[in-house]
Amino acid sequence: MGEIGVVKSYNLGDRSTSDIIVYLKNREGRPEWFYCHSLILTKKSKFFADKLSRPESTNCIEYLEAVPWEDKEEEEILRVVAGLSQLAMPILARIQPVDLTATKNVFLSAMRFATSSGVSCPLFVDKLKTSAQEQVEFMLVEDEDTPLVTADEEVKCEVRVGLLNAFSLFVKELDSLLLEFSKAAENRVLQCLLDLEWLCNIVPKMDMMKDFVLSWVEISNNVLGTVQDKKLDSIMWGLKLKLIEISGKLLEAVGYGNVILPAPVRALLLKTWLPYVRKMKPLLDSEGDEETDYFPYKMDDELCQSIEGAIMSLVLALPSNDQADIFADWMQTAQVKFPDLSEAFEVWCYRTKSAKRRLLVGFDGVENATVTL
């Protein structure tokens, strides 16, 4: 009986059995990777037989270090060079962690651009600005380890400058609408407000929400005075809704204790924005197509519920006299359905009666007290 030979079959592109990767460029100059087998190449090609018979790992490493990699290639390259130890260091240099100083410098540059305003090449600048904002968010996100950037005092100082510039620009652009209104001017104001909304979303990751809230409180009277001007009565609904959305986030942050502020500042925030929210809700509800009732700038249920809950929480944490002022104003208006403060009002009534009872008991105790020496 003759010997039975077992022949192992190989297929081009089979990664599970491939022991060599051939890199070629197609006619368009784009790279193509082929997962091959050295046994087949040396048997079928004198070129590969010659090449594979001479170790040229150094040339290969220099090549991989110099050429660009596509995303789908990177993991495979890393897998292949993992066993090369120190020889692979030049290849791995491009993906090594950057030192903290270099990372922070990149973050600060991105932060400056993300909060900048430019009009020289608006389309290009807007695209680059969006990219900068996305990367700032990515660098601040905590993954399984730690965020790329730690919010030290230098970083916070730069962010405060960005906040100041963003708020100043928004107020400036908004005030200009009363001088000369145009669609382009409205778009600039809305973009400024969108930048502020972006900042509102990232500052909590650096424990700087308090800075944002204080700046918002500072400009609130100016902003509301402008958007409620008769010239802007029936326009700019998107901008007005966005103001409510941002204010809602701040009311939540303060109302639920994520931002700690003195009682007078909390009361000022609420007394400034509560009348505006109460006024705008029915106005936005009344707008829209008569047949379909469609209007893109209405306050949805989720927004209404979050604002109502935040306001109730915020009211009940204020001094009782401030609560009394808010409830008195709330019941004197026709818009008592939103926000519905009836539960908070019940709590206030109970607290007020209990406080009066404690006061009377305290006086009786003093009058009936027996002084002993």
Specify the pLDDT at position 247.
96
Q: In terms of domains, do 121 and 157 share one? A: yes
Spatial distance between the Cα atoms of 168 and 153, rounded to a whole number of angstroms = 22
Nearest alpha-carbon partner for 175 in 216, 218, 227, 215? 227
Q: How confident is the model at residue 288 (pLDDT cuts 50, 70, 90)?
A: low
Based on the fold, state whether residues 58 and 187 are members of the same structural domain: no
pLDDT number for residue 8: 64
| 15 within some domain | no
Q: What per-residue confidence (pLDDT) applies to 292?
A: 60
Q: What is the pLDDT of residue 75?
A: 76
Examine residue 305 and state whether it is found in any structural domain, yes or no.
yes
Same domain for 231 and 108? Answer: yes
pLDDT category at 336 given cuts 50, 70, 90 is low
Whole-number pLDDT of residue 121: 46
Query: What does the pLDDT read at residue 85?
Result: 58
- In a domain, residue 108? The reply is yes
Helix (H) or strand (E) holding 164, with range, is helix 153-179
12 lies in some domain: no
Q: Please indicate, yes or no, if residue 11 is contained in any of the structural domains.
A: no
pLDDT of residue 372: 45
Pair 137, 156 in one domain: yes
The Cα–Cα gap between 195 and 117 comes to 10
The mean pLDDT value of the chain amounts to 81
Same domain, 263 and 186: no
CA distances from 197 to 10, 201, 245, 253 (A): 57, 6, 9, 14
* Band (5; pLDDT cuts 50, 70, 90): very low
Q: Considering only CA atoms, which of 325, 314, 316, 232 is closest in space to residue 280?
A: 232
Q: How many domains does the chain have?
A: 3
Q: Which of 73, 95, 117 is the last residue of a domain?
A: 95
Domain of 224 in residue numbering reads as 98-235
Please list the residues that pair with 20 across neighbouring strands: 36
Which of 72, 95, 118 is the endpoint of a domain?
Answer: 95
Q: Is residue 115 located within the same domain as residue 159?
A: yes
Token readout for 157 is: 């100082």
Once rounded to an integer, what is the mean pLDDT over residues 293-318? Answer: 90
In a domain, 310, yes or no: yes
Nearest 5 degrees, angle CA 238-CA 240-CA 245? 90
Tell whether 227 and 147 lie within a shared domain: yes
pLDDT (tens digit per residue) in 95-112: 776 677 888 888 888 888
3-state secondary structure of 20: strand
Could you report the per-residue pLDDT of 190-231, keeping only the tens digit for each? Answer: 999 999 999 999 999 889 999 999 999 999 999 999 999 998
CA 166 to each of CA 9, 205, 206, 301, 338: distance values in angstroms, whole numbers, following the listed order: 66, 18, 17, 30, 31
For the chain, give the percent of residues with pLDDT over 70.
82
Tell me, yes or no, whether 91 and 102 share the same domain.
Answer: no
User: What's the rounded mean pLDDT across residues 118-139?
Assistant: 73
pLDDT at 125 over 90: no
Cα 1 to Cα 4, 357: the distances in Å are 9, 111
Distance of CA 254 to the CA centre of its chain: 18
> pTM for the full model?
0.72
Residue 13 lies in a domain: no
Residue 297 within any structural domain of the chain: yes
Question: Which is higher by pLDDT, 314 or 116?
Answer: 314
> Same domain, yes or no, for 121 and 90?
no
- 29 or 171, greater pLDDT: 171
**Which residues, in sequence order, are CB contacts of 106 under 8 Å at separation 6+?**
98, 139
Note whether 124 and 229 are same-domain residues: yes
Cα separation, 337 vs 272, whole angstroms: 19
